[in-house]
Amino acid sequence: MDWVDVAKGLCILLVVLMHATLGVEKAVGTETSLHAFIDWARPFRMPDFFLISGLFLAARIDRPWRSYLDTKVVHFAYFYVLWLTIQFALKAPGMVQENGAAQTLLDYATSFVVPFGTLWFIYLLAIYFVVTKLLEPVPKWLVLAVAAALHVLAPESGVFIVDEFTNRFVFFYSGYALAPLVLAFAERLKTMPHGPMAAALVMWAVLNAIGVQSGAALVHGPDLLFSYVGIGAIIGFSVLVVGSQIGSVLGYCGRNSIAVYLAFTVFMGPARIVLLKLTGGEAASAVALLSAFAGAAGALALQWLIKDTRAAFLFTRPAAFRLAPRRDARPPATVKPAEA
């Protein structure tokens, strides 16, 4: 579905821009003009990403555990460990100089329990897939109600992964449990005239901005109402731009979102450092935009360059790191890279 790729692409670019902006702001010691936009996207940015991640799970959740774990847990674990090691190797010299070798090694070991940096998303995604399959016998409405209550109550345990789980599980599970409604909604939007849909999106953008500015959209993190309305708006925008040039660009980013997510920091960080030195800290918003572009474009370029080389393991899981099917079991259905 083209609109799904567009929505994923939009979300991953918003994530990259957020990190680029916050990194520049930390370096210059003040907020940039992009900060308001980053806050504006907060109610729907990650909720939409998680919902889409669960959208097609119903077609695979009945697989045998071995096949399910291979595509939904080992898949993400492989990339987490690989890119955790890569990112740590790049940052290790500075970390050793600041904290010492022993503390740096301890921080690396701790990252297998407490997700490291931007990689927390795929760490949490693997947990969501397991929990959702374990909860399969439970009525969906009950799980959804409990997940929503956990989000609203926002219990704070002080354990990062626990708190993030309770805060975001409702969106992932919504993608799984409400998939028929979401897909039907998208199909309905395809029949709407573009003019009224565009006007509705402008109205939503204004109302979302008011909600963020007043704080109503960010009660206990993203407010459920604003998040779901925002997700609907992103679906509408995605349907609207499918077939256009911007839709093609976003769709390409969406189809390769795992590569962008894993590697953007490798290119964004150096670009930010160089640009800040060249500009002396001036034009911080432009620096943030350019470093975000460098992060996303660099990751996509790296994936393209190594696609058919020995380095392809950076973005494609080798057969050696797959769970082989049992001899007495049916071979698992073929999984496309975008679905794995």
More confident residue, 155 or 9: 9
For the ranges 52-66, 87-101, 138-152, the lowest mean pLDDT is seen at 87-101
Please write the tens of the pLDDT for every residue from 25-39: 999 999 999 999 999
Range 40-54 average pLDDT = 94
Are 243 and 104 spatial neighbours (Cβ–Cβ below 8 Å)? Answer: no
Which pTM does this prediction carry?
A: 0.90
For the ranges 66-80, 90-104, 127-141, 314-328, the lowest mean pLDDT is seen at 314-328
Please write the tens of the pLDDT for every residue from 165-199: 999 999 999 999 999 999 999 999 999 999 999 99
Percent of the chain with pLDDT over 90: 77
For the ranges 86-95, 197-206, 306-315, the lowest mean pLDDT is seen at 86-95
pLDDT of residue 324: 65
Whether the pLDDT of residue 243 is over 70: the answer is yes
pLDDT of residue 202: 96
Could you give the CA distance from residue 3 to residue 237 in angstroms, rounded to a whole number? 9
pLDDT of residue 118: 87
Range 143-160 average pLDDT = 90
